[in-house]
A = this chain, B = another copy of it.
């Protein structure tokens, strides 16, 4: 306890003494309060739980004291870059005369160069100083996020190489900026991925204002890149003639390009075809980087107890039904996914309908099973009387916010599908299946969000056991006034399951459900991430909303949906461990 308090006070005292040369402490009200609290913590015979609470409170006070005007300034910078970027991207998309893709790319190059300069400065100067990073947030930048960043970064890099190869062929008749942009972006990808891999967990304590501004610059750069990529992808898809939409969309991708300016080398079309396939990965990469930059921004100036990460053992031997069904589902999903991909590329209408049929049925089966198991999990939660975690945890709130926010993408696609199919009468078995899939997906998303958030807010089992043992061993003999509370028959509830090693049926059911949902989310992630786009292969929505609008909805919604599935897998793993 004492060490944490000392650690918190060290940098602040240093700053104070630098400001007042006569070494007298300033009599700011907050200092008086904290001094009194310190005193209280060290001398009064407070029970351990109160001391812990006060330390939390103290932490919060110190945290807020560190908030200067920097967060405000950085927020204003972020808003300005984002809205200017939005205006430029919309302008270049809807007006082909005055603002072209070249203007937008020049703006992006400037942003990328600025962000790179800041990242290099941070890595070379700020992070090297003593006292700069006293704390690391163990929850920030989890392994799935960093692995995803690396994977999508690699694919984006390949996209940039293809882009460079393509536009080099157009250099004699098109702007050189079209080659410069992917070159700068490739360098940016390397630097940013390295930066986030190393520094994602930092809670910066020095130059906080400058760092905040740098991080929002990074955040807004990634979001502008994301906007630009989404718009470009949508425009590219819209170039497909609308009359042919009921023949597969994918076959028409490569045929449309710049008509006036001819490419000087023969591999142009292949490269162009290839890099448009890789666009979704770049969109995903920007979202990942934005999420990590946002978490870093939130962590600037934060003081966290660097408590040793509870070494929870991940054991699978207690559960079997969940993982088994899950693995079967993943295998079945992969098989149908490959069948779908093969069928959908055939010329024959029959085959393509079969492919869609298989895909729809498989998805309905997966989503129904997931909904069912989530309902079981929710019922167990109602029966289980585990306490909710009461202490505030910014990382968890952020995690929950990202989860719910990302789920919006899939929500939007599903609801737009429902409206389109219902409005057109849902004739034919394909439409009926499409509608069922959309309705069940909405249901599944709602249930899963509830299940994960509820699970994350429950007291972890191992902490509960420790608390129970601790209160038994120490608190009772010392504080007799608390024995009244402890004598209630409820206290045995906590102690009984902690002593035997066998899982209670409730915990076991929860673990089974988590394991199953985790695997099901993996297969639901694989299918869209690796190219399944039934939204474009099935004509109802395209006819209903017109191609441009539907392409925009899917291109904005689907990357969030993919992000949501990955995030769910990580969150479900956490829920599995603490159940």
Contacts and interface: CB of A to CB of B under 8 A. Distances in A.
Given A28-B387, A30-B387, 8 more contacts: A27-B490, A36-B49, A36-B50, A64-B392, A79-B404, A80-B442, A94-B546, A95-B544
A473 interface: no
A545 B46 CA distance: 67
B450 A491 contact: no
B545 A95 contact: yes
Interface string A96-126: 0011000100000000000000000000000
A207 interface: no
Interface in A493-509: 494
A32 to B, nearest CB: 6
A3 interface: no
A55 to B, nearest CB: 11
Interface string A76-100: 1001100110111011001100110
A229 interface: no
Interface stretch (A65-73, A525-533, A566-574): A65-73
Given A50-B36, A387-B29, A412 B488 contact: no
A423 B39 contact: no
Given A75-B404, A453-B72, A482 B32 contact: yes
A175 interface: no
Nearest to A91: B419
A143 interface: no
A348 interface: no
Interface string A10-54: 000000000010001111111111011101100011110110011
Contacts of A544: 91, 95, 98
B490 A415 contact: no
A350 interface: no
Contacts of A37: 49-50, 53
A138 to B, nearest CB: 22
8 contacts: A24-B489, A27-B490, A35-B482, A36-B49, A37-B50, A44-B44, A65-B388, A76-B446
How many copies make up the complex? 2
A267 interface: no
Contacts of A546: 94-95
A415 B86 contact: yes
A164 B69 CA distance: 52
B418 A87 contact: yes
A288 interface: no
A16 B477 CA distance: 26
B53 A482 contact: no
A65 B80 CA distance: 39
A431 to B, nearest CB: 13
Nearest to A491: B27
Contact of A72 (B20, B84, B450): B450
10 tightest Cβ-Cβ pairs between the two chains A and B: A98-B423, A27-B491, A87-B419, A24-B488, A87-B415, A83-B415, A33-B49, A87-B416, A27-B490, A99-B423
Contacts of A83: 408, 411-412, 415
Given A90-B416, A408-B83, A450 B69 contact: yes
Contacts of A131: none
Nearest to A467: B29
A246 interface: no
A50 to B, nearest CB: 5
A57 interface: yes
Nearest to A449: B76
Contact of A91 (B65, B388, B423, B487): B423
A36 B29 contact: no
